[in-house]
Amino acid sequence: MDHLIRRALPEDLEDAGRITVEAFVGGGFTSPESGYVEQLRDAGRRAREAELLVAVDPAEGRVLGCVTFAVGGTAWADIAGPQEGEIRMLATDAAARGRGVGEALVRAAVARSRELRLAGMAFSTRPTMTAAHRVYERVGFRRAPERDWAPHPGTDLMVYALAF
Domain 4-163 has CATH 3.40.630.30: yes
pLDDT in tens, 140-153: 999 999 999 999 89
Which residues fall within 8 angstroms of residue 146, CB to CB, at 6 or more apart? none
Domain ranges of the chain: 4-163
Pairwise CA distance, residues 22 & 37, whole Å: 10
Which of the four pLDDT bands, split at 50, 70 and 90, describes residue 128? Answer: very high
148: Cα separation from own chain's centroid = 17
pLDDT in tens, 108-127: 999 999 999 999 999 999 99
What is the pLDDT at residue 1?
A: 57
pTM: 0.96
Which residues fall within 8 angstroms of residue 33, CB to CB, at 6 or more apart? none
What is the pLDDT at residue 2?
A: 78
10 Å CB burial of residue 68 (0-12, 13-18, 19+) is: buried
